[in-house]
Chains A and B, each alone.
Chain A
């Protein structure tokens, strides 16, 4: 069941970034913090790239596929989750566009980005809750020893999704950079963020 722990751990990373962006927006809104647009952009990028490259493929290709083969239970929830995964690109584009408007000094830019972010965060929280409350427990219930092994093997491959032919991002390193640059108390206050 290592696989489920990995999924939940990845959810924690995403939730931590969502928490950080929400905190910074609150402080900016109250005039206590100057926006660090590079940092915001890097966090939005993380919210896009990490699930797309690392997280959702594990769920769709291995966990959900196996579960569907075992049972009809949870079929509606899985269908919804898969659909939501497929819509990832459109959702993140909306968030990126709003951030771009905000960074280029649009009059309504801050409020519009705040709304876009709240939509995104709400969506993601519900998405992760549905997985953790309904679908992961079904894996626990229905998976056989063989299923767990197959999923674990799939997860190992996923750490190098293109079989070594493509540079994938070093998310651990990026995460540490985000923590270092984020303002206290959510980060270490070493900003502004510098792109690689």
Chain B
């Protein structure tokens, strides 16, 4: 149990997800405290995206999700968005035919609809974090490079001033130089008080930036603990932090 989480923004209990008869997530228990970065690391196919989709209510599940002080039971996506949960999916879905700035404005749509017209100021904060997006604000999102697209996807999520930001493999498919920069920015977001649930295969980078960590293997949480403790655990080092960063073998249960 994540005892380092003081005011829990998210508490997931015994969450199970099945695709047909196949159970892809089994009794997952995860919590995120206010202002924390919590990471879920695990190899390809472990169930990381499945877990985020279920928490967000995009996928049906069994179990319980408590978010920002209220019991959701089984979450429902529109309601989770309205209540301040925001997911940056692996595919970084953007509107390629729209400008960078218009993509950002859309990120504030939900707040706008609820009568909060402060997106101008939020946009300045996002540009402060991502100066490159400001330089390219009039250009079409479809012309952005991979690294810029990831920055825009995160920037757009921040426009909603989320209570919980969920990032699905932000380093996926990016070159080492940009990966380092993305993780530097994730650390900067924590400094600014954003609570983050970060799902990653890049265990080295994720454990470096996170406060608390879970290891997910074949749909089950195999280990958990403060991130620096897990980073020092011989089993984690062997399976996930070996040189070259490839996690060939799973942890022995």
Give A contacts to B, CB under 8 Å: 1-2, 4-5, 8-9, 12-13, 15-17, 19-20, 23, 129, 132-133, 140, 172, 175-176, 178-180, 182, 184-190
Asked if A8 contacts B204 (CB within 8 A), the reply is yes
* Interface residues on chain B, number (Cβ under 8 Å): 23
A40 to chain B, nearest CB (A): 14
What is the interface of chain B mostly: helix, strand, loop, or mixed?
helix
| B181 (CB) vs chain A CBs: closest residue | A179
| B234 (CB) vs chain A CBs: closest residue | A140
Cα of A79 to Cα of B117 in the assembled complex, Å: 63
Cross-interface CB contact of A5 among B132, B179, B228, cutoff 8 Å: B228
With an 8 A cutoff between CB atoms, is B72 at the interface?
no
| Residues in B neighbouring A23, C-beta threshold 8 A | 175
Asked if A172 contacts B184 (CB within 8 A), the reply is yes
Asked if A12 contacts B180 (CB within 8 A), the reply is yes
B126 to chain A, nearest CB (A): 16
Asked if A15 contacts B181 (CB within 8 A), the reply is no
With an 8 A cutoff between CB atoms, is B232 at the interface?
yes
Asked if A190 contacts B135 (CB within 8 A), the reply is yes
| A1 (CB) vs chain B CBs: closest residue | B232
B194 to chain A, nearest CB (A): 19
The stretch of B15-23, B74-82, B145-153 in contact with A is B145-153
What is the interface of chain A mostly: helix, strand, loop, or mixed?
helix
Cα of A189 to Cα of B177 in the assembled complex, Å: 12
Within 8 A of A (CB), among B102-146: 131-132, 135, 145-146
Asked if A188 contacts B147 (CB within 8 A), the reply is yes
Return the 5 tightest CB-CB contacts between A and B, nearest first: A184-B145, A16-B176, A186-B175, A179-B181, A16-B177
Cα of A186 to Cα of B174 in the assembled complex, Å: 7
Known contacts A133-B243, A176-B184; A19 and B176 CB within 8 A of each other: yes
Asked if B181 contacts A176 (CB within 8 A), the reply is yes
With an 8 A cutoff between CB atoms, is B231 at the interface?
yes
| B180 (CB) vs chain A CBs: closest residue | A16
With an 8 A cutoff between CB atoms, is B44 at the interface?
no
Asked if A184 contacts B147 (CB within 8 A), the reply is yes
A and B contact pairs by CB, cutoff 8 A, 30 listed: A1-B231, A5-B231, A8-B204, A12-B180, A12-B204, A12-B205, A13-B180, A16-B175, A16-B180, A19-B175, A19-B176, A20-B176, A20-B177, A23-B175, A129-B243, A140-B232, A172-B184, A175-B180, A175-B184, A176-B184, A180-B131, A182-B177, A184-B146, A185-B145, A185-B146, A185-B147, A185-B175, A186-B178, A187-B177, A190-B132
